[in-house]
Amino acid sequence: MFNGERHECQEEMIFPGQYSKKYLFRIPAKSAILAFIHGLEDELYEVRESACRALQTLAILSSSFSNEVVNLLMDVLNDDSMAVRLQALDTLHHVAMFGHLKLQEEHLHMFLGILLDSHSLVRCTARKILKLTELPSLVMFKMCVNGLIRDLELYPQDEAEVFSALFMIGQNHRKFLVRLINEDSQMIEPSSGGKLGYDNAREASYLVLATSAPVSMKQQTCSVPPRMFSYAVTLLGRVSRSLADIIDQRTLLGYLSYCSTFTFVSASEFFKMEEHHLEEGDVQLSQRCEFSKYHIWWKLQLKEAESSLLHFQVEHKREINCVNIILQVVIDIWPSLKLGLIDEVTRTLRSLKAELGTISSHNHRGELVFALQYIDALEQLGCLLSSLVFCKEFYFHEWGKLEFSLKKLDRCLRDMRYRLIGLDKEDNFLILELIIANGILTLCNMGACANKTTLKKIHSIMSCIEHICEEGSTESSNFVVEVQKSLREIDATSCPFLDNPYLLMKSLEHFTPRKVVSSGNLKYMEAELHFQGNEFQNPLPFVSGLPVGLSLDITLHNISSENRLWIKMSLEEKLPQFVFLDLHEIKGHDELRKFTFVAPFYQTPKANCFSLKLCIVLECISEGDQLFRGCGGPKHEVVHLCEEKEVYLSSK
């Protein structure tokens, strides 16, 4: 009995990041929240602020824990310190971004009071939360609208942000919006003199809400009186300023003018027709960003209206916004890695990649690939850091598995650095930081003979980073500063790196992913390789010892004639053979080239049959890259531009 009790006590002494997280999530949410109450009631505002920040990190992991956090933070919104109120709101905003914010009616009464706060930053953060909040009833929807209207009446300078919040809330609660507008449409009428001067805050707010009302372009019907769209034109300048991140003024004018000609139908009839058309495949311009148990909502209901509605502009901004939101989530969850929650971080990153995969757009192929590769690189790096840096058992890991992860990360970073066109200095800086982190981890897994080569590469990358920082547009990071200190210490002492790997390893503790904002101007180098009519049952004939010509159909995307491309042909364990593609001799444009090329293969074996693997590779030419002493092939490292294709040959 004594041994059993002792074992049970040992099992209870489990802390996040030190032991299995499975035990951590057995703790009831109400019990876990008690640990923060004293911090939130401390007399020092710095302690209260830190407690709110700690809740933010943990609230995203569990919906039940988030509910308790919301209950607790509602009282904190009345804190005397503006910094504490702002941190509490920031925590609630993160909870809302991950789809865990469930406001009850009594919560909403307390929350709407913060919209009247004297500090503009507090009011702004509160409106951001309302944009992401789902309201379960019409009563709460009306309370929310009235709260924003009171905000506008008290602080007219907040008009643009209030209108933006009203528009998004209307978008997210379409049926409630229709009922509210139809009930109160009588108040939105011209004056007795026939003038349309809507200076009243409530009337102007209702017109903004009406602008977000659902319409059916196919049936040319709307769920609110069409005159509302005509009245909204009188507020065109004010509304367009509030929706500048969604739609421009010209497009908004065309949309309002077009919808004002529609036929009004009752709400029940409208939504019944809409459901019928959705079943038939009526495409709506809306996007729901949802990943695993973490949710981000980004809804857009503006429809295509003939030539007046510029579909491309709206689609462009919607997709870029979704990519940027997901990339921001990646930055927000990274601190959880240091808590030891590597499994949660990994699952979230994979869910984010799956969500990005649902955004299929040829126009923004570069942005989507960049985001996917950035998340993939952070996933690999996170696993490596969790094993080698944030764990004390440094020398007891399976090096074979780590070596595979290091090589996979290296390939991913080479793709990002050399295949993406249009990267700005910030993008290049974050890629170079990742390359340095990978180089440091690689040093710990290599023999002494390879140390000088890897260290030389790290020095070369650091020179590139210093050059970017000297231009003044990009600031250095704590991680880069620590690496510079470690390198100077290594250069000052003559001891080999493996004698003290912690010299550089300790700098990895300062690594934090940089914030990424996609501009929408990236292009991605790709190639397609086809060999028609060749299968295992239908091999290509050849004569042993003589060259054989392989006729290949090749398509190149976003590849300049200045790039050095090669066809790589591999035969089992022999050294690959390369054939150079001189793009100066091939007609076509950089955006797209299609041509047929006959590639000679000289190393035909003395065998009855064999298979050959082919792919197109890009030679990576940049300052400081390692040179290969070979004949007839690339002199630098290469990246694959397409998947390998297998060709079958037979002498019979």
CATH topology of domain 525-651: Immunoglobulin-like (2.60.40)
Count the neighbouring beta carbons within 10 Å of the beta carbon of residue 23. 14
CA-nearest of 627, 632, 642 to 578 is: 632
* Domain extent listing, the chain: 293-509, 525-651
Residue 43, number of CB atoms within 10 A of its CB: 6
Per-residue CA distances from 495 to 131, 208, 331 (Å): 57, 69, 37
d(CA 408, CA 402): 10
In this prediction, residue 151 carries a pLDDT of: 92
- How distant is the alpha carbon of residue 439 from its chain centre? 25
Characterize the bridge pairing of strands 420-421 and 592-601. Answer: unpaired
CA distance 211 to 571: 64
Closest CA to 530 of 557, 548, 553: 553
> 3-state class of 10 per DSSP?
helix
Quote the strand ranges of 243-318, DSSP E: 263-264, 290-291, 294-295
Q: Which two structure tokens, joined as six digits, stand for 583?
A: 């793009």
Query: Residue 379 CB: number of other CB atoms within 10 A?
Result: 23
Measured between alpha carbons, how far is 583 from 589 in angstroms, rounded to an integer? 10
Element spanning 565, H or E: strand 565-570
Running DSSP on this structure, what letter comes out for residue 20?
A: -
Torsion of CA 201, 206, 212, 215, to 10 degrees: -150
Quick count: other Cβ atoms within 10 Å of Cβ 69?
Answer: 28
The whole-number pLDDT of residue 290 equals 30
Q: What is the DSSP letter of 79?
A: -
3-state class (DSSP) for residue 15: coil
- Does residue 457 contact residue 637 with C-beta atoms inside 8 Å? no
Query: First vs last Cα of the chain: how many Å apart?
Result: 78
Alpha-carbon torsion angle 43, 49, 55, 56, nearest 10: 170
Of 430, 340, 354, nearest in space to 382 by CA: 340
Q: Are strands 548-557 and 526-530 parallel, antiparallel or unpaired?
A: antiparallel
What average pLDDT values come out for the chain (652 residues) when binned by 10 residues? 37 38 47 71 86 76 72 85 88 81 82 88 90 89 92 90 90 85 74 55 85 66 78 84 78 77 62 47 33 28 36 54 77 74 78 72 73 87 76 51 83 92 88 90 62 78 87 82 84 59 78 78 89 77 88 92 92 85 86 90 87 92 58 83 90 76
Q: What is the pLDDT of residues 217-245, one digit of tens each?
A: 555 667 778 888 888 888 888 888 888 77
* Helix, strand, coil share of the chain (percent; to 5): 55, 10, 35
Residue indicated by tokens 């003395």: 606
Chain-centre distance of CA 413, in angstroms? 17
DSSP 106: H
- Per the rule left: phi > 0, alpha: psi between -120 and 50, beta: everything else, 306 is left
pLDDT at residue 618 in the model? 93
How many Å apart are CA 283 and CA 89, to the nearest integer? 36
Q: Provide the β-strand partners of residue 600.
A: 549
* Cα maximum dimension of the chain: 98
Are the C-beta atoms of residues 303 and 284 closer than 8 Å to each other? yes
Instruction: Give the burial string for 631-645 (b: 16+ CB within 10 Å, else e).
Output: eebbeebbbbbbeeb
- Give me 226's structure tokens: 């069409």
List beta partners, residue 216: 221
Output the six-digit token pair for 627: 């040179």
Structure-token match 């942000």, residue found: 161
Whole-angstrom Cα distance, residue 511 to residue 381?
10
Helix (H, G, I), strand (E, B) or coil at 86: helix
pLDDT in tens, 198-214: 567 888 888 888 888 76
> Hey, what are 510's tokens?
């300062």
Q: Which amino acid is at 391?
A: C
Which residue in the block uniquely carries the two structure tokens 């302690």?
A: 47
User: Which pLDDT score, from 0 to 100, does residue 432 have?
Assistant: 92
Distances (CA, A) of 369 to 131, 184, 187, 420, 589: 29, 47, 50, 9, 22
Distance from C-alpha of 9 to C-alpha of 63, rounded to nearest angstrom? 28
Q: Tokens representing 183?
A: 């009930």
- Res 24: pLDDT: 42
pTM greater than 0.85 (yes/no): no
